[in-house]
């Protein structure tokens, strides 16, 4: 049986997530005392488990008061608020800031334009840690919107920012709505290209295959989006977190001549490789 496996060109770890995981693992090797992550470092249970095996555990904001001066807290790629950073500093614990530089740049804009008197508008999901973090840099004064249709009155000076994983159409709709309501408008498309690149290559590959396998954490919003895109092109699309979730009867079915593989931005290479190996292994049986 011949079978072709096509792996999407942009699949798996994005720059910011890879950097955060590497910074954490490297720092932990050198540090003798406890290293914690503020929230799960990334949306992938296998990676979180592997970090726990290395002695790196997650805490949440309610645990900050318990930190000791010799502890270290890693700020994950989504970033956090200045208030949380202050609370950690007050305990004497060290901070390793693994906020993705693209997110840091949005936080800086939020702070700068808030200080210059602009009303900050963030296009995104108000409950997402990245948005909560950005809002913290403008004193939690931002209006968080889905697509701008919620807005009916604004002050004269408005600065529009977007969550890095936001849809371009929502950002554009908001920008237009704000331009109708305010005179002095600054709008920054702060959507990260990693998201679009993953979506474009998943879209392309899923149009060409009989079976599409999307790998990623069930909590990961970018993985869910990849699944939706692939499912629209290929009705035989499977969303799995790791190789254990890929049933033998799916991997081994001879009717799949061409199989596509993609993965969300929180999926490490080793999990992708295990899935590809299983699909290849089943080819030869
Ligand atoms: S998706 Fe973009 S902004 Fe978010 S962590 Fe990855 S590289 Fe950074």
Q: Could you tell me the two tokens for 137?
A: 């840099």
Domain containing residue 147: CATH number: 3.40.1010.20
Report how far residue 88's alpha carbon sits from residue 66's, in angstroms, rounded to the nearest whole number. 10
Q: Are residues 110 and 86 in the same domain?
A: no
Q: Are residues 219 and 162 in the same domain?
A: no
Domain containing residue 56: CATH number: 3.40.50.11270
Does the C-beta of 192 come closer than 6 Å to ligand 1? Answer: yes
Q: Are residues 209 and 243 in the same domain?
A: yes
Q: How confident is the model at residue 1 (pLDDT cuts 50, 70, 90)?
A: low
Long-range contacts of 53-58 (CB under 8 A, 24+ apart): 54/25, 54/28, 55/28, 56/24, 56/25, 56/28
**What is the pLDDT, as a whole number, of residue 9?**
95
Q: Are residues 94 and 107 in the same domain?
A: no
78-89 residue pLDDT tens: 999 999 999 999
Last residue of a domain, one of 100, 129, 152: 100
Does the C-beta of 77 come closer than 6 Å to ligand 1? Answer: yes
Last residue of a domain, one of 38, 70, 100: 100
Convert 7-31 to b/e letters by CB count within 10 Å (16 or more is b).
bbebbbbbebbbbbbebbeebbeeb
By most ligand atoms within 8 Å of CB, the mutation choice from 195, 217, 223 for ligand 1 is 195
- How many other C-beta atoms are found inside a 10 Å radius of the C-beta of residue 115? 10
Residue 15 Cα to ligand 1 middle (Å): 6
Q: Are residues 58 and 77 in the same domain?
A: yes
CA–CA distance from 210 to each of 226, 237, 251 (Å)?
Answer: 17, 9, 12
Last residue of a domain, one of 187, 208, 233: 187
Residue 17 Cα to ligand 1 middle (Å): 7
Over the Cα atoms of the chain, what is R_g? Answer: 21
Report how far residue 82's alpha carbon sits from residue 75's, in angstroms, rounded to the nearest whole number. 11
By most ligand atoms within 8 Å of CB, the mutation choice from 103, 163, 198, 267 for ligand 1 is 103
Does the C-beta of 13 come closer than 6 Å to ligand 1? Answer: no
**What is the pLDDT, as a whole number, of residue 61?**
94
**Protein residue with least CA distance to atom 2, ligand 1:** 192
Q: Are residues 106 and 64 in the same domain?
A: no
Q: Are residues 66 and 127 in the same domain?
A: no
Q: Are residues 19 and 68 in the same domain?
A: yes
Q: Could you tell me the two tokens for 22?
A: 């590497």
Q: Are residues 182 and 252 in the same domain?
A: no
Report how far residue 93's alpha carbon sits from residue 71's, in angstroms, rounded to the nearest whole number. 5
State the catalytic residues. 130
By most ligand atoms within 8 Å of CB, the mutation choice from 39, 40, 100 for ligand 1 is 100
Segments forming the whole domain that contains residue 129: 102-187
Structural domain total, the chain? 3
Report how far residue 51's alpha carbon sits from residue 31's, in angstroms, rounded to the nearest whole number. 14
Q: Are residues 90 and 112 in the same domain?
A: no
43-97 residue pLDDT tens: 888 999 999 999 999 999 999 999 999 999 999 999 999 999 999 999 999 999 9
pTM for the full predicted model: 0.89
Q: Are residues 222 and 240 in the same domain?
A: yes
Residue 83 Cα to ligand 1 middle (Å): 23
Strand positions, DSSP E, the chain: 4-7, 35-38, 56-59, 72-75, 94-97, 119-123, 143-145, 157-162, 184-187, 211-215, 237-240, 258-263
Residue 133 Cα to ligand 1 middle (Å): 14
Q: Could you tell me the two tokens for 96?
A: 């390793």
Q: Are residues 279 and 198 in the same domain?
A: yes
Report how far residue 162's alpha carbon sits from residue 265's, in angstroms, rounded to the nearest whole number. 18
Q: Could you tell me the two tokens for 279?
A: 């699909």
Q: Tell me which H or E stretch contains 67.
A: none
Report how far residue 20's alpha carbon sits from residue 58's, in angstroms, rounded to the nearest whole number. 14
Q: How confident is the model at residue 283 (pLDDT cuts 50, 70, 90)?
A: low
Q: How confident is the model at residue 185 (pLDDT cuts 50, 70, 90)?
A: very high
Percent of the chain, pLDDT > 70?
98
Report how far residue 190's alpha carbon sits from residue 122's, in angstroms, rounded to the nearest whole number. 10
Residue 77 Cα to ligand 1 middle (Å): 7
């Amino acid at each position: 049986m011949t079978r072709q496996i096509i792996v999407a060109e942009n699949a798996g770890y994005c720059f910011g997530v890879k950097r955060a995981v590497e910074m954490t693992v490297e720092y932990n090797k050198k540090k003798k005392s406890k290293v914690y992550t503020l929230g799960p470092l990334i949306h992938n249970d296998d990676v979180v488990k592997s970090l726990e095996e290395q002695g790196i555990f997650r805490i949440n904001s309610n645990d900050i008061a318990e930190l000791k001066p010799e502890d270290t807290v890693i700020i994950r790629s989504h970033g956090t608020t200045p208030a949380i950073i202050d609370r950690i500093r007050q305990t004497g614990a060290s901070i390793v800031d693994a906020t993705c530089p693209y997110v840091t740049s949005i936080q800086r804009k939020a702070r700068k334009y808030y200080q210059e008197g602009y009303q900050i508008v963030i296009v995104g999901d108000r409950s997402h840690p990245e948005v909560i973090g950005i809002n913290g840099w403008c004193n939690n004064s931002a209006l968080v919107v889905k697509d701008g249709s919620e807005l009916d009155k604004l002050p004269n000076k408005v600065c529009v920012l977007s969550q890095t994983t936001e849809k371009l159409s929502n950002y554009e709709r908001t920008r237009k709505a704000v331009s109708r309501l305010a005179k002095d408008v600054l709008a920054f498309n702060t959507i990260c290209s990693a998201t679009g690149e993953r979506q474009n290559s998943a879209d392309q590959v899923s149009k060409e295959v009989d079976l599409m396998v999307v790998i990623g954490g069930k909590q990961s919003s970018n993985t869910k989006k990849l699944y939706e895109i692939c499912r629209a092109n290929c009705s035989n699309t499977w969303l799995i977190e790791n190789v254990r979730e890929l049933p033998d009867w799916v991997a081994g079915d001879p009717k799949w001549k061409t199989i596509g593989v993609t993965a969300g931005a929180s999926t490490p290479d080793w999990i992708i490789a295990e899935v590809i190996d299983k699909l290849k292994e089943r080819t030869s049986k």
